[in-house]
Structure 1
Amino acid sequence: MNNSLLNLTLAIPTYNGAPRLPQVLEALRHQINPEKIRWEVIIIDNNSSDETAQVIKDYQRNWPEDFPLTYYFEGQQGLAFARERAIQEANGTYVAFLDDDNIPAPDWIAAAHEFGKTHPKSGAFSGQIHGEFEVEPPENFKKIAAFLAIREHGSKPFLFDPDNLRLPPGAGLVVRKQAWRDAVPKTPKVVGNQGDALARGDDYAPLLYLHKSGWEIWYNPAMHINHQIPHWRLERDYLLSLAQACGLATCQLRMINARTREKPAILVRTILGNLRRMVKHRLKYGDKLKQELIPAFEMEFYRGSLMSSMVWLNQERSRKIENDKKK
C-alpha cells in the first residue's frame, strides 16, 4: 500500500488493554467501506504491563491486508503522550482516536471520511457516544454523563464552542493530522500530576490550540460509538476523583487562548465564580452532599475548578523561576 495515499489512520491508545482490545478490533475488522477508503489501524501501547503486545501480535497474523494493523510502544506514561505519538506515526490525512473501550458502529470509518471530505475547514470533529453500562447508573446520572465521555447531542451537525470550553472528548475524536502538527505543542502542558491530584485537561487542550489556529471543531451525528462503562467507573470514589481531576484543569485550559491582559480577569472569575457555585450548592443540598452522589460530584468539580487557579499560579511562578535561571 502507498502510505502517502492513506485517507485515515485509526489510532487506539491503550494501557493494559489486553482484555478490551479484541472487541474493538473485531468491530474494526467488520467496518463497511463502500468507497474503498484507504486506512490503517495503529495501536499505541502506553507502557502496559499486561499481554497487550501479544494480543496485537496474534491479531496481526490474520489481519486483512487492506487496512494494516501496526503496533507501537510509548513508554512515557499519559494519554496525551500516547496521542502525540499516534500523530507522529500516522500515515493518514486524518487521525481518528478510539479508546480501548470504544466500540464503533459498522459505518463509523465511512461516516468520518465523508464528514472530513465535506467540511474542509474542520480541524477536528466528533460524533455520538452512547453509554454501555455494566451496572445501572446512579440516579440523575445524565447530569454528569459528559464527564465519562458520553455525548448525545441530537441529529444535526453543529460547531462546538471552544471559547466557553464546550468541546468533544478525545475518545472518538477525528483530527486533521497536519493541523494538529502545526498547532499543538509536542509537549502537553495540561497533563499529569498537579500536586497530589491528576488534572484531566488532555482532551480539550489540543482542540483549543486548533481553535486558536483558526480551525473549526464540529459535531457529526452520523458517527456512533458505544462506550463500555465498567461498574467501578460508577463508584463514588472514582467519580469524585474524576470530578476533581476535571476541575483542576479548568483555569489552565481557559488561559491557553487568553491574551496576557485577559489573564488576571480570568483568574478572578475562576476564583469568585466557583466560590459562588460552592456556596449555592451547599445551601441547596446541605447534608445531602454526603449521601447523594451526583450533587457531591458537582461540588467536587467546583472545588477542583477553584483549586485550578492556584495550580495555574504555581505553574506561572515555576515558569518565571526557570526563565530567570536561563538569563
Structure 2
Amino acid sequence: MDKYELKNLDFTVAIPTYNGVNRLPKVMDLLLKQTGVANLNWEIIIIDNNSKDDTNKVSESYKKFSNQNFSLRYFLEKQQGIAFARMRAINEARGEFIAFIDDDNFPANDWVLQSYIFGKEHPQAGAWSGQIHGDFEVSPPEDFTRIQAFLAIREHGLQPYLFDADNLRLPPGAALVVRKQAWCESVPKELVFKGRLSKLMVSGDDTEALLYLHKAGWEIWYNPAMHINHQIPHWRLEKDYLLVLARGCGLCIFQLRLINAKNWQKPILLVKTILGNLRRLLQHIIKYRGQSRSNLIALFEINFYWASMISPFYSLKWKLDKILENKNKYAK
C-alpha cells in the first residue's frame, strides 16, 4: 500500500481511458488544481481499458502528488468496453461518491467541490450530473443543438431538477457522479450494454445503470453548479460518425424501456415503440423531402427514429444470441 492511501474516503474521481497518453495529462492537471478540497479525503483512480500506448506511465508520473488527503491509483482492466471500465472503478473506489470523468472531459476548478456538496445536501440522490459544454475543434453544423445531447453536451439552465427517467431523459455517463451505496445496492454486476464496441456502436450502458438506480427508488439530479468542458474533435462532427452514432443510440431504446416495465406493459411498449417512431420517421421524411442529403441534422434524426423503430427486433436478436451463447457454454 502506498504511504498516503486511505481506506474510507469522501470522494473518488474515476477516469476510464483507452490510449489516453496524450489526453490524460490535461485532465489530471485540472483535477490537481481543484479548489475547496483541502478538507476532503479523496482520490483519483485511472482505469486503463487495455490501452496499447504508455497510459500506465502517465499514471506513474502523477503519483508524486499524493499527500495525506489525496492519492492516485492505477488499474488495468483488460475487458474492453466502457461498462467494464466503470464497473471496475466501482469495485476499486473507496469514496462515498464516485465521479466518472472521461479523458476528454475538462472540469472547472470547483467541479469536485460542487459535486461533493450536492451529494451531501441530497441524501436521496443516487446520481447527479451538471452542465457539460462543448469544446469544439471545428464549428458544429447548423441546428446542432437539436442533437447535441447525443454527444454528451448538456446545458439545461441554472435551476436544479430531477431527470425524467421514465421517459429516458437522463444524463450521460461522462461527468456523472454516483453514490457508491446506491450503485452497489441497485445495479447488476453485469449490464446488457457494454459500450460502443461493435461497428453498430450500440450505446445504452449509461442509461441502463441509471434506470436501475431509478427502479430502486434513488433520485437522479441535474446540478447546474457543476461545469465540464467536453472536447469534441472534428471527426465526431463528420457525417459517417454521426449517422452510426444515431443508429447506435436508437437500437438500445426498446431494451432500456423494458427495465422498469411491468409484464403487462411490455406488449404496449412494443407497439408504441414501433408505431411512435414510424410516425416520427414519416413526419421527418415528409418535412425534409429533398433535403435528406444536405441537412445533416435531419438525416441524423431520421436514422435515430429508424433505429428506435426496429429496436424491439434488435432486442430479440440479442436475447437469441444470449441463449445460443449459454447453450454453447454448457455444451463445452
Please state which band the TM-score falls in when normalised by the shorter chain: over 0.9
Q: Which residue is equivalent to 1:224?
A: 227
2:207 matched to which residue of 1? 204
Residue 98 (str. 1) matches residue 101 (str. 2): yes
Deviation at 1:42, TM superposition (A): 0.1
State the superposition RMSD in angstroms: 1.9
Sort the Cα spacing of 1:187 and 1:28 in 2 relative to 1 into closer, same or farther, 3 A: same
Instruction: Give 3-state SS (helix, strand or coil) of 2:235's partner.
Output: helix
1:116-195 aligned within 5 A: 116-191=119-194
Please state how far the C-alpha of 1:94 moved relative to its aligned partner.
Answer: 0.7
Is 1:115 the counterpart of 2:100 in the alignment? no
Is the 1:190–1:253 contact (alpha carbons within 8 Å) kept by the matching residues of 2?
no
2:271 is the counterpart of 1:268: yes
SS of 1:3's partner is coil
Asked if the contact 2:45–2:93 (Cα under 8 Å) also holds between the matched residues in 1, the reply is yes
Question: Taking structure 1 as reference, are residues 265 and 323 closer, same or farther at Cα in structure 2, changes over 3 Å only?
Answer: farther
Deviation at 1:4, TM superposition (A): 3.9
Following superposition of structure 1 onto structure 2, how do residues 1-327 of structure 1 map, counting pairs within 5 Å?
Answer: 1=4, 3-33=6-36, 36-64=39-67, 66-191=69-194, 197-318=200-321
TM-score by length of 2: 0.93
Instruction: Quote the Cα distance in structure 2 between the aligned partners of 1:296 and 1:176.
Output: 38
Report the 3-state secondary structure (helix = DSSP H, G, I; strand = E; otherwise coil) of the residue aligned with 2:223.
Answer: strand
Secondary structure in 2 aligned to 1:221? strand
**Contact 2:119 2:125 (8 Å CA) reproduced:** yes
- Structure 1 range deviating more: 188-197 or 47-56: 188-197
d(CA) in 2 for partners of 1:2, 1:98: 21
Give the structure-1-normalised TM-score. 0.95
Q: 1:95 to 1:195 in 2, by over 3 A?
A: closer
> Alpha-carbon deviation of 1:199?
1.1
Q: Secondary structure at the match of 1:171?
A: coil
2:81 touches 2:196 (CA, 8 Å); kept in 1? no
Q: Report if aligned partners of 2:81, 2:197 keep a CA contact under 8 Å in 1.
A: no
* C-alpha distance in structure 2 between counterparts of 1:105 and 1:281, whole Å: 38
- Kept after mapping to 1: 8 A contact 2:128/2:178: yes
What is the Cα deviation at residue 309 of structure 1? 1.1
1:24, 1:2 → 2: CA distance?
Answer: 21
How many residues in Structure 1 have an aligned counterpart in Structure 2? 326
How far the C-alpha of 1:196 sits from its partner, in A, is 5.3
- State the percentage of identical aligned residues: 56
> Is the 1:252–1:312 contact (alpha carbons within 8 Å) kept by the matching residues of 2?
yes
Structure 2 unpaired stretches of 5+:
none
Between stretches 199-208 and 28-37, larger displacement belongs to 28-37
Q: Distance in 1 between matches of 2:56 and 2:132?
A: 27
Q: CA 1:140–1:114 in 2, change beyond 3 Å: closer, same or farther?
A: same
| Gap change, CA 1:233 and 1:320, over 3 Å in 2 | closer
Counterpart contact for 2:13–2:99, Cα < 8 Å: yes
Alignment gaps of 5+ in structure 1 = none
